[in-house]
Amino acid sequence: MVMSLAGAVMTVAGSAHAEKRVALVMGNNDYKNVPSLKKAVNDAHTMGEALNGLGFQVLSAENQTRSGFADTLLAFDKMIEPGDTAFFFFAGHGFEIKGDNYLLPTDVPGATEGQEELVRDASVSAERIIDRVQRRGARTAVFVFDACRNNPFERQGTRALSGAGGLAAMTPPEGVFIVYSAGAKQTALDRLSDDDKSPNSVFTRNFTRELAEPGLNLVQIAKRTQVDVRDMANSIKHDQTPAYYDQVIGDVVLNGAPADPNRKIDVVDQRPTQVASLPPVTTAPRIAPTPESSNAPIASFSRHNGGWTVVFSLADPALVISWRIGNGEFKDTGFMDALDPRTRKRIPSPSIELDADAPAATIEVRYVDANGDMQGPFPIRFDPAQALFRDQRKILDMTASSWLAFRDFNGLLLYYTHLVTYRCAIKQMRIGIDSSIPDKVIQLPPCDMRDPSSIPEKAQVLMKVPPTTQSVSVELTYLDGSLSEIKTFKRGVAQVP
């Protein structure tokens, strides 16, 4: 059963809830400000047909603007219920900005060097889509991104937005399986040649064929697709090997029983076989989707000595903003001493405070819009560890010039106080002395969630380096496994950290 959105018509299963299979497939060809694509929409259609044949209720969308993308995701949210198997497929342009992955809607602006924030704000975070699906309670979630293409922002005569296109490696949460159409620093082929008559990309035509094979689990599908795509790409001397990231517990088989249900489990693979449920699928009349929209707020979390500050960002002007955690009463955020020229009323405060030891929870936010209508409540997931990582990672990205500092004092000293302060976002720090290749690991003290920015009393924040040192390179591995750019700090006028 295939449902279409934007164009947009949607079919909903009408039976009482049992664990079911739901999918969103999306293809974007018609980009307005970056190069258009030829086969992304076809890829979404082919994937939708393949999933429909496996008993998925499929929501299909094509050529989505940022607003349309938001509407589509909201419709997909409503399809997912606890225990379901969810599948998300995107074919189109994807882009990595400082380790975070973004899927580009068709109205993403063209951008040049230094305009990363413009692209970030106009795009959709892949990590946030994963988080949304998990918050809906999906038992198993599969994400397939055929978005590892060339840098869409490269234009002759301009300095392109930094990045090579495609997506950065991910460390998915438990229950999530991710597939990329190409590996790190590789680009995905749209076609083998101008004479290639296939309507689909090299990845999608192979992945959907393996998906249809009975008895294969997700890892087997990914590995067989790797071989298929690599061999096909090698035939025209192109390097492309799809990558996958597996945090699913057990073997999930989407097409029938495992090929060998009596197979012996060896010491290397002791996971039990788990077959994703396939309840009967019923068809209901086609109905229009609820246009509840792109007005869902987003939140940013900042950690300080007293606890957490949560700032809500709303697309619409609001008269009142209120929130709650759990089943308690909604509390208003209060008002600022300023007027909103759009409403001619006081601006509601966009922020709230949480205790330093606040546990993971779902914050529900609602607001009264300029017409006096209540919008929401909208769920926003608060995960202290993840919020701290993102907050400190953002600070590190913004203050990269402060990571290291030289000082002459009884020898030449290299300070890395700044990195110790924001160590809760860092998995590993490496430096290279008079080398562009950071090859020496510097141990940072462990993160203390109770007081994350404080520096422990006996922590090392500096090291002595040879007096002839002229430069030091540094590279960070963040907690999510992504890498920073290699920064080089040259010795010059004495710097005091």
Name the residue ranges covered by the structural domains of the chain.
2-287, 298-382, 388-490
Domains 2-287 and 298-382 share a fold: no
Mean pLDDT for the stretch of residues 462-478: 91
Helix (H, G, I), strand (E, B) or coil at 201: coil
- DSSP string covering 61-74: EES--HHHHHHHHH
Structure tokens at 432: 């290279």
Q: Is 4 helix (H, G, I), strand (E, B) or coil?
A: strand
Quick one: pLDDT band at residue 437, thresholds 50, 70, 90? confident
User: In this predicted model, what pLDDT tens digit does every residue of 269-318 receive, in sequence order?
Assistant: 333 333 443 333 333 333 333 334 456 888 999 988 889 999 999 988 99
Q: Which residues of 333-364 are buried (b: 16+ CB within 10 A; e: fewer)?
A: beeeeeeeeeeeeebbebebebeeebeeeebb
DSSP summary character for residue 456: P
- Listed range (129-138, 147-156, 194-203, 435-444) with the worst mean pLDDT: 147-156
State residue 410's pLDDT score: 84
Q: Who contacts 107 (Cβ-Cβ below 8 Å, separation ≥6)? A: 32, 33, 65, 66, 122
Is 128 in contact with 383 (CB distance < 8 Å)? no
- Listed residue (310, 387, 307, 391) closest to 355, CA to CA: 307
Q: Report pLDDT for 97.
A: 78
**pLDDT at res. 495:** 41
Q: Residue 451's pLDDT is what? A: 87
CATH class label, 388-490? mainly beta
Among 8-12, 164-168, 181-185, 428-432, the range scoring the smallest mean pLDDT is 8-12
pLDDT tens digit sequence for 43-90: 999 999 999 999 999 999 999 998 889 889 989 998 999 999 999 999
CATH classification for the domain delimited by 2-287, as one of 3.40.50.1460, 2.130.10.10, 3.20.20.70, 1.10.640.10: 3.40.50.1460
Of 89, 90, 86, 17, nearest to 57 (Cα)? 86
From the options 2.60.120, 3.90.700, 2.60.40, 3.40.1000, give the CATH code of 298-382. 2.60.40
Cα–Cα dist 132/73, whole Å = 9
Backbone phi, then psi, for 175, in 5-degree steps? Answer: 90, 5
Q: With b meaning 16 or more CB within 10 Å and e meaning fewer, what string describes 141-173?
A: bbbbbbbbbebbbbeeeeebbebbbbbbbbebe
Model confidence at 165, pLDDT cuts 50, 70, 90, reads low
Please give the Cα distance from 219 to 484 (Å, whole number). 29
